[in-house]
Structure 1
């Protein structure tokens, strides 16, 4: 179930997952983060109660790489403690710089 931290106004749905069964999400990366990781789109397996922070740690981002990251789930900006659901699309958005 999507928590209140997400900005979206979509109806909430409850999805029952078994702790033992992994489910997939899609993780998207952009800019220098995509270059550093070597991929822009990747299927990632999660279990029940997996948060955005859990995924970020599991893909091996250093604390420096995590600095300033924004997160979007299914197109809506979210905080890192949001729990993910099967089929979610998680975008890892690096800070934008320039002039």
Structure 2
């Protein structure tokens, strides 16, 4: 049985994210985790609101960058592999992901 994503769309191809990109995104996500832990600690220590909001803004920016990288990789994957898969379906999925990102920004 093929591995399926949680939303049961087409399985991601092996070339979707390179090993280097996975390391890059994992490092970015680790930094976000560290920032979130720091924010929790700041709240527990009753630190100034502006300090907390500055850190929260940094987390949001980091997550937006991660999202942009993922969408960029998805679109590049679509452009290079459209011949292997139903191009319209893959492009539609990519555009839905982009729309979701923009809606939640």
In the superposition, the TM-score normalised over structure 1's length comes to 0.21
Give the structure with higher Rg (CA).
2
Higher relative contact order (CA 8 A, sep 6+): 1
- Select the structure that is richer in helix: 2
More strand by share: 1
Query: Normalised by the size of structure 2, how large is the TM-score?
Result: 0.20
